[in-house]
Copies of this chain bind each other. A is one copy, B any other.
Amino acid sequence: MDNYHDRRVRKSKIALKNALMSLLQQKNLQQITVMEIVQTADVNRGTFYKHYQYKEELLEEMVDDIIVDLIDSYRNPYQKGENISVDNLNVSAIKIFDHVENHADFYTIIAKSNALVGLQNQICRQLTDLMKEVVQQYQEPEGIDLNLLASYQAYAIWGLIIEWINQNFKYSAAYMSNQLLTILQLTRYS
């Protein structure tokens, strides 16, 4: 469908994303019209509807971009062939918190908006997949459904991120992963 190799498409999409990002600093999604977006982006309205069905879909694609970076951030430490341990989990956590900090404006919009698309779900789903890799390394879960445990851990971390955002990033990313580690150290996964 979309020809990402075409410079015109990339230009249009970037313009639309920048426009929406800038508008989201001022008002929430419901108050933003497609007309405003295309006017701000200086793009024809038909061009918007060529690529997206609704403004929510545009936002979803913005999340996709962020998620690519999230996965990169997460996978980085493991690419050195280290074993997965609580320490490594902490390294991953640092990477994740760094990533959130780097996109603080974006995550703030996501977290504070009241009408956003399934982007938090997307992020949490991704986190859940990542957590599955970690959780499967634990020996002897003893009657615990690993899918449940992975989802538990993923959303728990997301909960930390949300609270971090709500406190306006008053802690550093290092402190946050420290907190996570401290909480996890209370837990004796074998």
Residues of A within 8 A of B (CB): 30, 53-54, 56, 60, 111, 113-121, 124, 128, 142-145, 147-160, 162-164, 167, 171, 176, 179-180, 182-183, 186-189
Q: A156-B152, A159-B155, A182-B143 are in contact. Are A118 and B124 (CB under 8 A)?
A: no
> Out of B119, B155, B180, which one reaches A162, CB within 8 Å?
B155
Report the minimum CB–CB distance from A80 to chain B (whole Å).
28
Q: Which of B151, B176, B182 interacts with A159 by CB under 8 Å?
A: B151
How long is the Cα–Cα vector from A11 to B77 in the complex, in angstroms?
58
Are B158's CB and A162's CB within 8 A? no
Kindly state the separation between the CA atoms of A113 and B120 in the bound complex, as whole angstroms: 12
List residues of chain B with CB within 8 A of the CB of A120: 117, 120-121
Assembly CA distance A171 to B147 (angstroms): 13
Given A115-B118, A151-B163, 4 new contacts (CB under 8 A): A150-B163, A152-B159, A152-B163, A186-B188
Q: Provide the residues of chain B in CB contact with A118, threshold 8 Å.
A: 113-117
Q: Whose C-beta in chain B lies nearest to the C-beta of A30?
A: B54
Q: List 23 A-B contacts (CB under 8 A).
A: A114-B117, A115-B117, A117-B117, A117-B118, A117-B119, A117-B121, A120-B120, A143-B182, A144-B183, A145-B171, A145-B179, A147-B167, A148-B163, A148-B164, A148-B183, A152-B160, A152-B163, A152-B183, A154-B159, A156-B156, A158-B159, A187-B187, A188-B188
